[in-house]
Amino acid sequence: MTNCQKYRNSSFFCFAASLTHFCLSQTPLPDIQNSEFKKSNLAIEVVASILPDAKITRLEGNYELRSHLQSSYDLGINYLKYINKSLRLSTGFHFIVGKRNFFANIPSEDINNWDGRNIIENKELWEAFRIQLLLEKKFSSKTKKEFLIKGGINLRYSGFMIDESIAGFLVYSNTQVVRIFRAELSPRNNGNPWLTFLGGFSKSVLLNNQNSLSIGLNAEISPTYFIKGSYEITVPNKPITTGTYKINGAGLGLSVQYSFRSKK
């Protein structure tokens, strides 16, 4: 087991602030009906998200398994279909990579005077696909700047992932190897897809090549815990600690989308 490394999310927020300032200072996107865009466009979208801690429930015992803030990264292609000059439909196919974590501190006197800080620790990637179906509404301010609000659903799937068995060991002074931790996790949601709900807003700017760039914030809510499992902490001569571990993938993300100009 290695020592825990602290998450550093300050660079993420600095990047978000800089990109937001860039977009807000650019020329607003012209009205759709007067632009050279057709009624449909393709776009590439990248989303970087901060996810809450895993939901960890201790069922028995004295030791506490904990989790830090988590993260995910999303890349996909969207198809934008304009219904009218202020309303459009966004569908897309995206691939998501996330990172989960957990750790536990054990008092040194319980483990033969070993340093017990984060002696139990695990960080691992998970993957999923999502198909989105969103409605996006355009609003124009008196300053002729344009903003979009959006809302809709995602269909997620991670059934291609494999179940995980995780174990942690200590070597005592008499060279005896003792297992002090075991966990069984499944990131597959029993092989079933599930729905999440997404809302957000963005600001668009028109680039010199007549393509557009938008930046926004997304909030995603998921009622389904697609990663589920149980754990057991078995320190010799101490009561066994057991509990459950769950992740639903909900989070707050920074979205950057590049939309291509359609040729007439």
Residue 61 structure tokens: 């015992």
Tally of domains in the chain? 1
Q: Would you say residue 174 lies in a domain?
A: no
Q: Would you say residue 182 lies in a domain?
A: no
Q: Would you say residue 72 lies in a domain?
A: yes
Q: Would you say residue 90 lies in a domain?
A: yes
Q: Would you say residue 234 lies in a domain?
A: no
Q: Domain span at residue 151?
A: 10-163+192-225+250-259
Distances (CA, A) of 213 to 27, 68, 92, 140, 231: 11, 33, 17, 17, 45
Per-residue pLDDT of the chain (264 residues; tens, 9 = 90+): 433 333 334 444 444 444 444 444 444 444 443 444 457 899 999 999 999 999 999 999 999 999 999 999 999 999 999 999 889 999 999 999 999 999 999 999 999 888 888 899 999 999 999 999 999 998 876 655 678 999 999 999 999 999 999 999 988 767 788 999 999 999 999 999 999 999 999 998 888 888 989 999 999 999 999 999 999 999 999 999 999 999 999 999 999 999 997 655
pLDDT for the residue numbered 23:
44
* Residue 47 to residue 203: CA distance in whole angstroms: 15
Alpha-helical runs (H) found in 76-133:
none
pLDDT for the residue numbered 242:
98
pLDDT for the residue numbered 235:
94
Q: Would you say residue 177 lies in a domain?
A: no
Q: Would you say residue 244 lies in a domain?
A: no
pLDDT for the residue numbered 25:
47
Does the reported pTM lie above 0.95?
A: no
* Residue 114 to residue 189: CA distance in whole angstroms: 37
Q: Would you say residue 101 lies in a domain?
A: yes
pLDDT for the residue numbered 210:
84
CA 156 to chain CA mean position, Å: 12
pLDDT for the residue numbered 12:
42
- Count of C-beta atoms within a 10 Å radius of residue 143: 7
Q: Return the CATH number at 44.
A: 2.40.160.20
